[in-house]
Amino acid sequence: MGAIAAHIGGRLATALPVLIGATLIAFLLGVIAPGDPAREALSQGGGLEPSIEQLAAMREQLGLDAPLPVQYAAWLGRVVQGDFGQSYITRQPVAEELLRRLPVTLQLATWAVFIAAFFGIGGGMVMGYFHGGAIDHAGRVFSLALLSIPGFWLAILLILVFAEILQVLPTSGYGTWQQMILPAVVLSSSTAAMLMRLSRAVMLEVMSQPYIITARAKGLSEPVIVVRHALRNMLIPLVTVIGNHAGEIFGGAIVVEVIFALPGLGRLAVSGIFQRDYPVIQGYVLVAAFVYIAFNLLIDLLYTLIHPQIRFGGGIK
Amino acid sequence: MKAMAIGVLAAIAMASLAAPWIAPFDPNALDIANRLAEFGPTHPLGTDHLGRDELSRLLHGGRSTILLAVIATAATLGVGIVFGAVSGYFGGKVDHAIQSLVLLFQGLPRISFMLAIAGVMGPGPFTLFIAVVVTSWADFARIVRAETLKIREEPYIEAVRALGASPGYVMTFYVVPNLIGPMVVLFTVEIGRMILAIAALSFLGLGLQPPTADWGIMISDSRPYFRSAPLLMIAPGLCIAITTFAINLLGDSLRDRLDTRMDGHPVVL
Amino acid sequence: MSTATATDPLLQIRGLSVGFPTRAGTVMAVDDVNLSIGKRETFGLIGETGSGKSVLGMAVMRLLPNSARIGGAIMLEGIDILTLDPEATRRLRGGSIGLVPQNPGSSLNPVLRVGTQIGEAVRLHRGVSGREAGQVVHDLLDRMGLPEPEKTARQYPFQLSGGMRQRVLTAIGIAGQPALLIADEPTKGLDAIIRGQVIETLHKAARETKASMLVITHDLQVAEQLCDRVGVMYAGKILEIQTAERLFSAPQHPYTKALLNATPRKGLVPLPGTAPGLFDRPPGCVFAPRCGLVEIACGEDQAMRGMNGGAQVRCRLHAG
């Protein structure tokens, strides 16, 4: 068990610099953003145009005259304490708004990851098992088509078919599981397609391994061979790829949330952009980076659980 | 399949290039009286909500996105090649420094940062271009580095070096030319993704700006009318999907040729 | 076992041929092979890489890919196993015929515990489950000479040495108490000490389970130490079958002689030329292009002929 701790510890050690890098980029986004935070702070409540003296005083109060590294340190200190600044528009703390919306995006992304993993890996296994056959060819064309369709267009098409014509699912909104189906399916589509193609290749690779011959020679049935012997070995490379793809899903959530009117982080970020609400954009980037890194650590933990060699400290390869 | 993909891409490229001459109307000519018109002899595919000719806008609609995708992918590839080749060729501290940067950028959620960078700098094609390059170069650099490491071990590189060639000379005339094969594949595979990303951001209003005749913007424009005039939404989406599909097909066949492992299943003997 | 044919045959292979269709036509990996293995007999099949011996083993296991074109008959206790339906084939595998596969390094599933992998075969073919199956697994490991069977059963393959993995694979092979055990290249890639252990383990496995054994190997020493009778395979055909003792003391076929002369003991005399590939099998005697005794008659295919002393040889020198 110490081996897992060591492995995760190593991953944390590499994740930390990435997290710091993310905060640095988020900070720089605030620096290059047009607009003057001091003016924004003073025009709170929409009063008179602040005087030059007032601006200078506020600038000093906010530490905007200090050199950038000092500003960064101060800003980072506030971020670590959960102070992400105030929205220019609502005057509310950004962190609260982000925290309110995070569960929506997480729920959407989790659904999407599971749908993608289920259909992607399942489809890829079927394709790989019957490689060269009609199912395989159809699957390859289908997955390539799915990779080529714009997600936002697929979303509108699905709304047209399922909500308008068939009227079996709601068009948009948040709250019920029915409202999650279409957004999650759209969000999962490209990851599912990618996983289908990858799983097919991994399935072919695994099924040609000598231990599959051993399993067949024991007289095991094909379903047992595929599920017990092949799938577990396939998950080792696939799980890592799912982790890498979490960024695509989290980013794709922006479009999906806008189209399906889900009150998530992505929609907040888009409205933040249009309203030039820079603290909100900064906060969004920070949360996105944090979630992405955390998800990949989770994937690492999962990886150690399915990979006995790491669990028992044998090292890889 | 490959010939079909090339044929489709050639047709799309020709139509896009010739759009100003073959389009029946100015894609931005308004005709409010004729808004949301059905198919007809004057407007073969009807008109949009501002009475603009749908066919003309479709013909023009790929130009900006495809051009931007090509430029952005090429620029990203360029940055990736420089960092990747330098990193792989020189190794040591340079490699370590560049790899740390690559790890950092690969550890970030790409699309989220792309959106934020483009958003903070203000929506538009140029900021989108910058956002794409900043967030995507690391993937390219990593692949180029791996390829460079392979090439560096080739005996002919050793031979040229032994002749006293400078690192710059070896890089320019021996390493980079050998990178072209894999880079063509990478370019093809990435450009499909790039078109989709640009279309999505244009759809959101963060990429190309109206009234540009652009497939992504057209889908966005037609959204309020998708019940009454679904063709206005379906047609531009199909254009994007067909373009990307043809590119992906081509990328697939190129990849199969360069990397036979993808499809090679050993005979069980 | 003094004769070349098994007196009380368990397995009889009649006119077996295995072809693989390719773009350049069907290649014959196994061509008109006849052999029989007696009850409790250990039969060795020796030959170079590509001679078709492993394909023959896989054919007996019914583990060839679907594309293989198989002709002839493989009779196990009077039943032609080539005619079995999928369900009966699965009962055959591991039940009637056990396999000890080659490559101990990669023939065990890396993500499953050793006990699980042996237990699968035990549960499937012995009709036991739960604690009882676990007991059988421990017993098998113990009999294969693995120390601390309970601990070994809980371990993963990467935690075992090459020799231990080979023994685990042997345990899997005999887990279903098969009548026939096929060992495919059991010593390939192993060092001399482990090789000795493997020979001993296989010998013990066959003796304790009273199983017949088919040992497929390119290792002449293994064949000599382990087998009662030996068949020599070359380019898909069997050229000679003899008792092990006589094959190594009085080889009959020119190829067998050349093969033995190439061993360190006989002074490492190399065979001239290379074995024919799958696509360029010569007409007539397959060994003729490399044989020092070629005559015009070698251009015609020869049948296996029984000789005085029990040997069977496929060579015109022994005709009539």
Predicted TM-score (pTM) of this structure: 0.86
pLDDT-derived band at A317, boundaries 50, 70, 90? very low
At residue A46, does pLDDT exceed 60?
no
Q: What percent of chain B has pLDDT over 90?
A: 17
Name which of B119, B200, B266 is nearest A273 (Cβ-Cβ): B119
Instruction: Tell me whether residues A144 and B206 touch, CB distance under 8 A.
Output: no
pLDDT-derived band at C320, boundaries 50, 70, 90? low
Choose, out of A16, A167, A214, A273, the residue to mutate when testing the contact with B (most B CBs < 10 Å): A273
* C-beta separation of A193 from A121 below 8 A: no
Taking the Cβ of residue A113 and every Cβ of chain B, the question of whether any pair is shorter than 8 Å is answered with no
Domains and CATH numbers, chain C: 9-96+178-318 (3.40.50.300)
Q: How far is B259 from chain C (nearest CA, A)?
A: 22
At residue C299, does pLDDT exceed 80?
no
Q: How far is B249 from chain C (nearest CA, A)?
A: 26
CATH C-level class of A101-311: mainly alpha
Name which of C95, C103, C110 is nearest A219 (Cβ-Cβ): C95
User: How many domains in chain B?
Assistant: 1
pLDDT tens digits for range B144-184:
888 888 888 888 888 888 888 888 888 888 888 888 888 88
Name which of C63, C92, C109 is nearest A211 (Cβ-Cβ): C109
pLDDT tens digits for range C121-159:
999 999 888 889 999 999 999 988 888 999 999 999 999
pLDDT-derived band at B33, boundaries 50, 70, 90? confident
Please report whether residue B203 resides in a domain.
yes
pLDDT tens digits for range B73-95:
999 999 998 999 888 888 889 99
- Mean pLDDT within C160-171: 90
Q: Which CATH number covers residue B238?
A: 1.10.3720.10
ipTM: 0.89
- The chain-wide mean pLDDT, for chain A, equals 88
**Which residues belong to CATH 1.10.3720.10 in chain A?**
101-311
Res B266: pLDDT: 27
Q: Which has more pLDDT, B186 or A317?
A: B186
Q: How far is A12 from chain B (nearest CA, A)?
A: 12
Show residues of chain B in contact with A295, CB under 8 Å.
none
At residue A250, does pLDDT exceed 80?
yes
Res C6: pLDDT: 61
Res B260: pLDDT: 37
Q: Which has more pLDDT, C312 or B33?
A: C312
- The chain-wide mean pLDDT, for chain B, equals 84
Q: Cα separation of C183 and C97, whole Å?
A: 11
Of A162-166, B211-215, C186-190, the one with minimum mean pLDDT is C186-190
* C-beta separation of B237 from A150 below 8 A: yes
Q: How far is A140 from chain C (nearest CA, A)?
A: 23
Instruction: Tell me whether residues A148 and B117 touch, CB distance under 8 A.
Output: no
Please report whether residue B182 resides in a domain.
yes
Res B269: pLDDT: 26
Res C180: pLDDT: 94
Chains that touch B (3 or more CB pairs under 8 A): A, C
Show residues of chain B in contact with C58, CB under 8 Å.
268-269
Task: Report the residue of chain A nearest C175, measured CA to CA.
Answer: A218
pLDDT tens digits for range B41-76:
777 777 777 778 888 888 888 888 899 999 999 999
Q: How far is C50 from chain B (nearest CA, A)?
A: 10
Please report whether residue B25 resides in a domain.
no
Show residues of chain A in contact with B116, CB under 8 Å.
26, 29, 269, 281-282, 284-285
pLDDT tens digits for range B241-266:
999 999 999 988 887 766 533 333 22
